[in-house]
Structure 1
Amino acid sequence: MRARNSLARLSLALSLAGLCSLAAAHSLKPQRAVEGITEYRLANGLQVLLAPDDSKPTTTVNVTYRVGSKHENYGETGMAHLLEHLIFKGSPKYPAPWDEFSKRGLMANGSTWFDRTNYFAAFAANEANLKWYLEWQADAMVHSHIAKRHLDTEMTVVRNEMEMGENDPGNATTQRALAAMFQWHNYGKDTIGARADVENVDISRLQAFYRQYYQPDNATLIVSGKFDANKVLDWVEQSFAKLPKPKRQLKPTYTNDPVQDGENQVTVRRTGGTAQSLAAYHIPAGPHPDYAAIELLNLVLAQTPGGRLHKRLVEEKKLAASVGHFGLALAEPGFTSVSAELAPQASHEEMNKELLAVAESFASQPLSAEELQRARTKWLNDWERRFTSPESVGITLSEYIAQGDWRLFFLLRDRIKAIKLEEVQRVATEYLQRSNRTLAQYIPTDKPLRAPAPSFVQLDKELAGFKPQAAAQAVAAFEASPANIDKQTQLSQLTNGMKLALLAKPSRGEAVRGQLQLRFGTAESLQGQQAAAEQLAAMLSMGTERLNRQQLRDALDAAKVELNVSAQRANQLVLSWATKREHASEALRLIAEMLRQPRFEAAALEELRAQGLTAIQSQRDEPQALASVVAQAALNKHPRGHVFYARNFAEQEQDLKALKLDDLRQFHARFYGADAGQLSLVGDFDAAALKAEAEKLFGSWRATTRFARTGDKASDQPGRVQQVVTPDKQNAMLFGILPMPIDDDHPDRAALQLANHLLGGSMSSRLWMRIREKEGLSYGVGSGVSLRPRDPDSAWFLYAIFAPQNRAKVETALREEVARALAEGFTAQEVADGRQALVNESRMMLAQDPALADLLSRNLYLDRRMDRQQQLIDAIGKLTPDAVNAALRRHFKLDGFQLVFAGDFK
């Protein structure tokens, strides 16, 4: 009897083993799991992290290599970044990756940083695309061309990207500061590299760098979002396990700067831009226990409006238009910085003095418990948003993998939660001090203070006591199809006529996304009101009648509200926000209070005026901003002050300087109301409760001046080419607009979108492949179609970023590619690939809650349903080459464009 029972148990075990082998052919076993993320390891050393989340039908794949600019030797600066570009040039098996990305609807890219390089793609959940992308990543790891011919064509593109960074005063100033801070460590060198190194790179050294670091034992593969874990592990094993484990051993880095022994000063002088300053300080590496305090101190100093720098420099002293911070958790001892932009007419010397005094004030003005709690709340809210987003969690983990271990992502959160006031105070006084600062000139000092000496971190010791929290519960899947969205969305109307679209559905972390659009006035009543509309929108976040600015910010943080407010022309206000289910009603109440009872204070207007004037000044000689403004101004058909009039920078400055506080009060009294508004909510919420709340908050709120839609039609200005000179700018810009007298109900709607996609709207388009890939003339080139609802006022636009000396080549290539497309048309294969890409992109968009909330809100205004989106998807799927080519020839007239070239064309 005992023998029979043993045989039965053995038979059952064998049966279960057989079932398991059918479910999962892979041999991978979990190494460790933390809060829903599971780690596996291949025999060749590849680390695999799976973060499943079925709440959204999207998948994100990220491969992180532990190699960045830190690993470059003498003469090799910029190599890690060059490899990032050349990986996308393909291999014998995959000769054109960008074509495949575009055809499959993958939103793909790569990035290079100090400690790591990563490659990622996000797409609508699709097993075929996921399997293909894993296979491509495995092949790219060891079989990429890294060829001289590709290096030569890409060189102009990399130089173009380098020049874009040099054009940015803030970027250039930060780079010079880091170079002064680090005597020996490569953190003092810009990731993009020295021009001499990049231009003279030896292809054999670049290939050796690739073979050294692009190996499975130096990489981590992360898959997040919706996928079948067993299938993914099968595919990972099939594609990556065949790569051999390299025989070479990577040596640990050991360069470490000595403690800084006196303050530094750096000055950068250039034409244009806005005066600004930054104060940078050496800090410990990201895994160090003290680093958590640095994260919080950055917020205590630079957060708006409660940060010490904002209060002193912006509100009280009126020395700065804005303040900010920039710091990094790096694998080795790094840096953090605080910065300020000079307010108009303020003293730069006085601003520097106050900037340093506040940053280094903790010894005389200790940190308060309120400051610490406010910063902690903000930081943890931001962390939670990243962790609960399938698209961002995989990318975010790259930075912690680069520091040495992905679990540091959770360890830092736990340290932030647990850190004591006295610990943060100690870190502030030890690191934020004069002798550890880079801003001022060197001055000999009898008894200099010293910051703690930089040191490496023992990860095993730091992680020894780490205990992961329980993983979040799985979220039910949601079918993001137009038909299901229509079926699940509750449409209603408040007493005053305000329209609601409520789509309650499961979401990770009980997330809720909302959008509220208010529409104002008439063309006549809004004459000359653009500046008032813009600044009133900005003032909404600066307090209410009941809550001052800081109290409002604290209330929003307590309700986990991330809010964005923008004025679109003078006749529309858009508020978009994210919150959680438990705070959804409170978020709506706070937003209603901001809208209905804003706090009008003269000091707030002066702050906004200073920020606006500073922004105008920084853009008026910037090629990218100037080209767009000049092109739009050339199409003006209405008088100055009309709601559709495009103002130039001088007019914007004039309006802003003339604005009075009473102008904002009057605009609010006349135009604000919800009777012409639309509210959309998407995510995990109680629809009945929020509908009732909306009725209570907005149902009786009507504008004094009623809204009436202002129609328009396309400009009939003849096309022209203009050249605008921007001295001392190493980067130039082409921007063009073609007015089209059609609306988005035109029969060519679908064909125009596909024609644009093939001409310049994707990374496999004609313009991209000619100007970016083949000739390497531009870092970014493309086109777009904007089809306006209801009015025959649509537009086709195009752009290119390039070095000024390549202007003639860029224009020639543009004209030749347009002429070829018009004459020969797009091929059947191009059209087939484009159809697939656009359909996939449409599905991807419907899976994004912020985009869905925006679409539902616009549909409310236009009295449309989601079935119109399905009709567009169906129409795209049926397009023929003849239909697409005919639409291109009917509508695209290069001679009708307003083409503006802006740059230093010497």
Structure 2
Amino acid sequence: MIKFESYTLDNGLTVLLHHDEQRTVATVNVLYKVGSRNDPPHRTGFAHLFEHLMFAGSESVPNFDDALQLAGGENNAVTSSDYTLYYDVLPAENLETALWLESDRMRKLRFSERSLENEKRVVVEEFRETCLEQPYGDLYHHFNSLIYREHPYRWPVIGQEISHIQGATLAEVKEFYYRYYRPDNAILCIAGKFDPSTVRDRIAHWFGRIPASALPERPAITAEPEQRELRHLTVRADVPSPVIYLHFRTEDRMHPDFPATDVLSFLLGGGRSSLLYRRLVRDTELFAEVSAGINDNLEAGGIIVEARPSEDVDYSLAREALFAAIGEMIEKGINHEELEKVINQLEQRNHYREANISSRANELVFYALLGEPDLINTEMDRYLSLTVEEINRVARKYLAPTRRAELEYLTLISEA
């Protein structure tokens, strides 16, 4: 049982406290409820650009990284489709430094044309290196728009076009900041060693006077319609070998079927004992690599399969074998022993995460984003209660061809 406290400041900031006296460090996580789904359509990649700008200095801190390193800490950040998360880890006795730094950039970011141009160049270079200059680098530019037709998930986090980043203006940056980077749109989590008798006062001191957003909310994000047909796209590019990517539309992250579809993805392609690995790699050697995992977007998630045929095999034969193996999961299903093995693996993964204080903080803010921080203690129970019948039901429902989007990433030389 992971014990924590949760409360809200008058300005709307959600606060989570997880005290662990046995630790020597403290972690400070700040999650902002803004991700690439909130990018303006002509400024895709904007949330990711803003992640970089948040390290470019605030009113009292010219360089965020330097100040934190002087306190013996380290930090990083990640932008997703649904949120942006900043996290700091530092010696427990220097917790106040992280509170000062995070509150200062929430209160007043330092805006300048120079810092904007610098970060735009960094992000554009990242776009070129990861999306344009690497094999399969533009995968999600094609795949996302195949999977999603209406929702902003249809563009990748890094952005759809370089020009969208290059055209960003300082006025747009300020508007984005004052709309989304406010306490009423944020979750603060402190985990590890701290003084429980003073921590609330210190949080109030640093964050309590930051005003909530004064800007009106943007129009509601368009919901993604239910997928009712098979979707297919072939991309030919200068890549070393063909790869098949599949996406099977599932449901929102809080849907009751989520634990079952998560387990289904493990059974399908989560390691050497999974069905796809056994049928396609171990037994036939038709594929060099195959894997499956869950896409846990807050809305309209899915099971993603990546399959790379072996060299010199008949591509059409390999592709047929892939769908035959998926068909086996649908038609024959699984048995109790297979389910128990996966559940044991998930329990082990959960215990490992619980042992890591940073993982605890990450999970707490994520579950708070979902509106149910107690899930950190209760969601595993939903997995443990799963039955063979339930897994087989979701396999039949969600692995149906009408829920499938297939991207064939082929070499420039025609495949047979």
TM > 0.5 fold call: yes
Select the residue among 159, 165, 173 that pairs with 1:193.
159
Q: CA RMSD in A?
A: 2.0
1:149-188 alignment to 2 at 5 Å? 149-166=114-131, 167-188=133-154
- Kept after mapping to 1: 8 A contact 2:243/2:307: yes
1:338 partner SS: strand
Q: Distance in 2 between matches of 1:350 and 1:269?
A: 19
2:106/2:181 contact within 8 Å kept: yes
C-alpha spacing 1:89/1:254, structure 2 compared with 1 (3 Å): closer
Q: Distance in 2 between matches of 1:367 and 1:414?
A: 20
Determine the C-alpha separation between the residues in 2 that align with 1:53 and 1:60. Answer: 11
Change (3 A) 1:257 1:241: same
What secondary structure sits across from 2:77 in the alignment? strand
Counterpart contact for 2:26–2:193, Cα < 8 Å = yes
Q: Does the 8 Å contact 2:20/2:191 carry over to 1?
A: yes
The structural deviation recorded for 1:249 is 5.3
Q: Residues 225, 153 of structure 1: CA spacing in aligned structure 2 closer, same or farther, 3 A cutoff?
A: same
Question: Does the Cα contact within 8 Å between 1:138 and 1:239 map onto a contact in 2?
Answer: yes
Q: Distance in 2 between matches of 1:93 and 1:206?
A: 19
- Percent of paired sites with the same residue: 28
Q: Which residue of 1 aligns with 2:30?
A: 63
- Cα separation, 2, equivalents of 1:201 and 1:144: 17
AA aligned to 2:274 is G
Question: 1:136 is matched with which residue?
Answer: 101
> 1:183, 1:125 → 2: CA distance?
47
C-alpha displacement of 1:119: 0.7
Amino acid at match of 1:66: K
SS at match of 1:230: coil
Deviation at 1:85, TM superposition (A): 0.4
Query: 2:354, 2:112 → 1: CA distance?
Result: 39
SS in 1 for 2:228: coil
CA deviation profile, 1:535-585 (whole Å, cap 9, x unmatched): xxxxxxxxxxxxxxxxxxxxxxxxxxxxxxxxxxxxxxxxxxxxxxxxxxx
Shift of residue 408 of structure 1? 3.5
What SS is found at the alignment partner of 1:184? Answer: coil
Between the aligned partners of 1:212 and 1:87, the Cα distance in structure 2 is 15
Aligned to 2:364: 397
Instruction: From 334, 350, 374, give the equivalent of 2:301.
Output: 334
Q: CA deviation at 1:272?
A: 4.1
1:327-476 alignment runs, 5 A limit: 327-439=294-406
Q: Secondary structure of the equivalent of 2:236?
A: coil
| Deviating 4+ runs (over 4 angstroms) | none
Segment of structure 1 superposing worse, 220-229 or 111-120 = 220-229
Deviation at 1:420, TM superposition (A): 2.1
* Residues 1:122 and 1:360: Cα distance change in structure 2 (over 3 Å): farther
Deviation at 1:274, TM superposition (A): 4.0
Give the secondary-structure state (helix, strand or coil) at the position aligned to 1:217.
helix
Counterpart among 113, 116, 125 of residue 83 in structure 2: 116
Distance 1:191 1:398, change over 3 A: farther
Say whether residues 1:325 and 2:268 are aligned partners. no
Q: How does 1:83-122 map to 2 (within 5 A)?
A: 83-122=50-89
Report the AA paired with residue 351 of structure 1: A
Q: Which string of whole-angstrom CA distances, capped at 9 and with x for unpartnered residues, describes residues 285-334 of structure 1?
A: 11110011111011101122210000011011101112212323222122
Q: Could you tell me whether the CA contact under 8 Å between 2:254 and 2:370 is conserved in 1? A: yes
Alpha-carbon distance in structure 2 between the residues aligned to 1:200 and 1:42: 37
Instruction: Give the CA deviation at 1:385.
Output: 1.3
Determine which structure has more spread, i.e. the larger CA radius of gyration.
Answer: 1
Between the aligned partners of 2:135 and 2:399, the Cα distance in structure 1 is 24
Residue pair 1:276, 1:342 contacting (<8 A) in 2 also: yes
Q: 1:164 corresponds to which letter in structure 2?
A: E
SS of the residue 1:371 aligns to: helix
Aligned 8 A contact 2:58 2:109 in 1: yes
Is 1:72 matched with 2:28?
Answer: no
Structure 2 residue identity aligned to 1:400: Y
Given candidates 171, 181, 198, the residue that maps to 1:231 is 198
Instruction: Quote the residue 2:243 is aligned against.
Output: 276
Match of 1:266, SS state, is strand
**Distance apart, 1:346 and its partner CA:** 2.0
- With over 3 angstroms needed to count, the CA separation of the structure-2 counterparts of 1:116 and 1:354, relative to structure 1, is same
Measured in 2, the distance between the counterparts of 1:214 and 1:440 equals 36
Q: Residue 184 of structure 2 aligns with which residue? A: 217
Q: TM-score, normalised by structure 1?
A: 0.43
Letter in 2 for 1:186: P
Q: 1:259-658 maps to which residues of 2 (within 5 A)?
A: 259-439=226-406
Distance 1:170 1:312, change over 3 A: farther
CA distance in 2 between partners of 1:400 and 1:207 (Å) = 29
- Name the structure 2 match of 1:589: none
Q: What is the Cα deviation at residue 135 of structure 1?
A: 1.2
1:40 and 2:28 aligned:
no
Matched-pair contact (CA < 8 Å) for 2:59–2:104:
no
Amino acid in structure 1 at the alignment position of 2:54:
I
Contact 1:330 1:402 in 2 (8 A): no
Q: AA paired with 2:116? A: L
Please give the residue correspondences for 1:656-675 in structure 2 after superposition, counting only pairs within 5 Å. Answer: none
Q: Which TM-score applies when normalising by structure 2? A: 0.92
Q: Is the 8 A contact 1:285 1:330 kept in 2?
A: yes
- Secondary structure of 2:382's counterpart equals helix
* Cα deviation digits, residues 100-153 of structure 1 (max 9, x gap): 123222211111001100111112322xx3101101111111300233211111
Conservation of the 8 A alpha-carbon contact between 2:34 and 2:83: yes
Q: 5+ unaligned residues in a row in structure 1: which ranges?
A: 1-33, 442-906
Q: 1:299 to 1:271 in 2, by over 3 A?
A: same
> Is 1:66–1:402's contact at 8 Å kept on the other side of the alignment?
yes
Change (3 A) 1:405 1:148: farther
Pair 363,92 (structure 1): closer, same or farther in 2 beyond 3 Å: closer
Higher RCO (CA < 8 A, seq sep 6+):
2
Aligned-pair distance for 1:269?
3.0
Q: Distance in 2 between matches of 1:266 and 1:339?
A: 15
